[in-house]
Copies of this chain bind each other. A is one copy, B any other.
Amino acid sequence: MILQMKSLRWSAAIKSEFKVQGIVPVFADDTVALVRQYRHAAGKYLLEIPAGSLEKGENPETGARRELEEEIGVSAAKIEKLSEFYVSPGFLTEKMHVFLATELSETKQNLEADELITIEKLTFPQTFEMMQNGAIEDAKTIVGLFLAGTRFGFHP
């Protein structure tokens, strides 16, 4: 399904019922796990922090823990809010909650049937370089990596 928005004006708003959250999972060696997956809207594979939409009645932190386990197969003893922000406030009500997950232990990746995801572990300096050279080109991922990286003492 492709919805065309040619005629949408800036005064219009798309009221999204999704509550969405992203998670920056940082391991004991200060590496971060990102997921690479095909995005139909982009028409290509993108490297992103694990993310998803909340299930009905689920709070963002619980959703973050569930997505983290499903997408990269780790559980987090510690989850902290890093930020929440509008992804496109000119016309979209969608707000993204981004969490930092630490004290990770491995469980088992448990993808939904239509998900095809590969996991890439990177250092923060590697991710900063990839943000600057265009290899990482997803807004929530850039925001999450900047906020998490600087919290761990890494600077671009």
Across the interface, which residues of B come within 8 angstroms of A85, CB to CB? 137-139, 142
Chain A interface size, under 10 / 10 to 19 / 20 to 34 / 35 or more:
35 or more
Across the interface, which residues of B come within 8 angstroms of A42, CB to CB? 86, 89, 93
A48 at the interface (CB under 8 A from B): yes
A156 at the interface (CB under 8 A from B): yes
CB distance from A113 to the nearest CB of B (A): 11
Across the interface, which residues of B come within 8 angstroms of A43, CB to CB? 93
Q: How many copies does the complex hold?
A: 2
What sequence of 0s and 1s flags, for each residue 117-136 of chain A, a beta carbon within 8 Å of any chain B beta carbon?
00000000000000110100
* Cα distance A131–B84 in the bound complex, in angstroms: 9
Contact present for A139 and B137 (CB under 8 Å): no
Contact present for A150 and B139 (CB under 8 Å): no
CB distance from A133 to the nearest CB of B (A): 10
Across the interface, which residues of B come within 8 angstroms of A106, CB to CB? none
A96 at the interface (CB under 8 A from B): yes
Q: Which residue of B lies closest to A132 (CB)?
A: B147
Contact present for B3 and A14 (CB under 8 Å): yes
Q: Which residue of B lies closest to A149 (CB)?
A: B156
Across the interface, which residues of B come within 8 angstroms of A28, CB to CB? none
Q: Which residue of B lies closest to A2 (CB)?
A: B15
Contact present for A39 and B2 (CB under 8 Å): no
10 pairs across A/B with beta carbons < 8 Å?
Answer: A1-B12, A1-B13, A5-B15, A14-B41, A41-B93, A42-B86, A46-B86, A85-B137, A87-B139, A146-B156
Q: Which residue of B lies closest to A137 (CB)?
A: B85
